[in-house]
Amino acid sequence: MPKTTRIKEKHPLAIRWFHWVNFPILFLMIWSGLLIYWGNDVYSITLFGHTYVRFFPEWIYRLLHIPFRLAEGMAFHFLFMWVFFINGLLYVLYTAFSGEWRELLPNRHSFREAWAVLLHDLHLRHSLPPQGKFNAAQRIAYSGIIVMGLGSILTGLAIYKPVQLYWLCWLCGGYHVARIIHFILTLGYCVFFVVHVVQVILAGWNNFRAMVVGFEVVREKPGAGVAPAALSDGVAGASPAAAAAADALPASPAPPDAAPANANALAAAHAATPPAPPVTEPSASAAPPAAHTATPPVSGAATPSAPHDAPLPAPRPAFIPEGFSVQDSALRRRAFLSFGVFAGVGLAGFGLWKWLYDAPMETPSATKGARGPLRAVLNTNERIFRGIFSNGHPVRTYPKSEAVHPNRVRFTGNFGLSGTIDPAQWRLEVQRLSGTPLAIGIDELKTLPRTEITYMFKCIEGWDQVSNWAGVRFSDFVAHFGLEREAALDYIGFSTPDDAYYVGIDRASALHPQTLLAYEMKGRPLTMPHGAPLRLIIPVKYGIKNLKRIGHIKFSNQRPADYWAEQGYDYYAGL
């Protein structure tokens, strides 16, 4: 008996688009996240003082060219997070409104059936539980990925803006816990990637093709488990004789002596029927063939078990005899077009990535250290978040007793601290609009009201530490020395005495009530490694904005030069 080809529609076009957009984007998010994690790779599996697994060994970083690319990783991460979020949101909305969720969400039997699927895949069980579009294990895995995606977005936001989104950070268990969860979810994606790719390979070409063209091709014997109406409705342009032959096929496997008669009837019907245009799927609006009511069964065929006036099962996709060249060419044409579009879009996406990765640095400016498109994204992120959040939101403070000892206060590098300086001879020079500079000594600064703050200092590398600082509020400094006109400008620039190290701060952040010109840490004068005699403490920013050894202050409406922005970091660097 010749086999037939059945077209099984599986994945809607929208689902296929969401899948193939998410696949590379998630990969790029993991890659850029690894560039970020390198700055503070503290996680490991340690029991009883022995480390069994360290994330990650140094050779992995060298192999993947990871070291010293933190700024690049953050820029890419904060670009692709938007694509990841928008694509995921559209997927969830489509799944909800299209009804696809019915095929996706696990039910009360899913976990038991998933165990049976696992045993079958491990060749420990011969039979599978009833299968739908997705088996139970797939339902659990794919639904779990959606939940993981939501978790990554929430914990990512908690890490990205822990000051503005303090409530979200609290819900995640705090900054450290949010970072750990974010890391574990990333490892989960890596495991899912590996398992998913292996399962796709094991499932074969037909399964992979379905995610590109939308359908699977199923070849099986005519009538095997197919109701008569399904087959007769699916024969393109069937004559009454062909329809009668289709009706003659049994609804369930027929006895051995009935098979030849069925095959002969179908062959005779096709021999007597002129070729007609193929039909891939039955039309929902087509009237049922007259064969259902008017044509008697072919002699010798098995009698259908249900009367013709009984409700017919829902039509199934069309069965086309193997070798039916018109139908085969139609399938090949559809597959060719789908793979052509798939390849074209893939090449376009790769070209876009190459353009982005090879984009030239932005033209010389205060932020000349990043690729032009990435800097545009960082600046856009700044405008979005500054528009949404309050510039005056206070940073959480802690009891002074929780601050680390001054000898244990961390610092990264000695940028701007070359040479020695005599605190008694040091002067802070302020550029005024009148053109006359203002020079202020450390003793004069100490006559202003003293303000103390204990907060979680956050380094852009990923580490943080509760530390205590004391000094003069910058807003009090401005008011005391009559710098209101200068402070009305958009930006304030701070630099070391030799101008070799410098940062630019937006006015709102500089005048924040918790921003200090600090000269003490936990009751002791600043040490040289921590920026003596005077440094900037600005809790609403990452540590890269907390300039040590301030020597000059100037005001302007243009962004002042910023050392770390010139290395590719975000100019705003706000928390």
Question: Do you find a cis peptide bond into 529, omega within 30 degrees of 0?
Answer: no
Please give the DSSP secondary-structure letter assigned to residue 569: -
Average pLDDT over residues 378-397: 88
Q: Which of 117-121, 128-132, 490-494 has the lowest mean pLDDT?
A: 128-132
Where do the domains of the chain lie, and which CATH numbers do they carry? 4-156+191-217 (1.20.950.20), 226-304 (no CATH), 397-567 (3.90.420.10)
Average pLDDT over residues 343-364: 91
Highest mean pLDDT among 141-150, 295-304, 366-375: 141-150
Residue 548 and residue 531 in contact, taking contact as beta carbons nearer than 8 Å: yes
Retrieve residue 313's tokens: 């099962």
Radius of gyration from C-alpha coordinates of the chain = 35
- pLDDT, residue 371, reads 87
Residue located via tokens 């998933």: 114
CA 554 to chain centre: 41
CA 58 to chain centre: 26
Beta sheet of 215-220, edge-to-edge order: 215-220, 4-9, 319-321
Q: Report the C-alpha gap between 454 and 463 in whole angstroms.
A: 16
pLDDT at 295 over 50: no
Q: Report the C-alpha gap between 479 and 469 in whole angstroms.
A: 21
Q: List the end-to-end C-alpha distance of the chain, in Å, as a whole number.
A: 71
Strand ranges, E, within 407-499: 428-430, 438-440, 451-458, 464-473, 491-495
**What 3-state DSSP class applies to 436?**
coil
pLDDT at 391 over 90: no
Q: Report the C-alpha gap between 349 and 209 in whole angstroms.
A: 20
Q: Report the C-alpha gap between 530 and 547 in whole angstroms.
A: 10
Q: pLDDT-based confidence at 365, cuts 50/70/90?
A: low
pLDDT at 23 over 50: yes
Q: Which of 415-424, 482-491, 523-532, 544-553 has the lowest mean pLDDT?
A: 415-424
Q: pLDDT-based confidence at 504, cuts 50/70/90?
A: very high
Q: Which of 41-55, 99-113, 285-299, 444-458 has the lowest mean pLDDT?
A: 285-299
Q: What angle do CA 454, 455, 458 make, to 5 degrees?
A: 140
Q: Which of 80, 79, 43 is nearest to 185 (CA)?
A: 43
Burial classification of residue 149, based on how many CB atoms lie within 10 Å of its CB (0-12 exposed, 13-18 middle, 19 or more buried): buried
Residue located via tokens 């793979």: 339
pLDDT at 317 over 70: no
- pLDDT, residue 66, reads 94
Highest mean pLDDT among 156-165, 250-259, 389-398: 156-165
pTM for this model (two decimals): 0.78
- pLDDT, residue 223, reads 56
- pLDDT, residue 4, reads 63
Top pLDDT among 8 and 102 is at 102
* Sequence-ordered list of residues with C-beta below 8 angstroms from that of 512, at least 6 positions apart, any chain: 391, 392, 475, 538, 539, 540
Q: pLDDT-based confidence at 304, cuts 50/70/90?
A: very low
Q: Report the C-alpha gap between 368 and 366 in whole angstroms.
A: 6
pLDDT at 28 over 50: yes
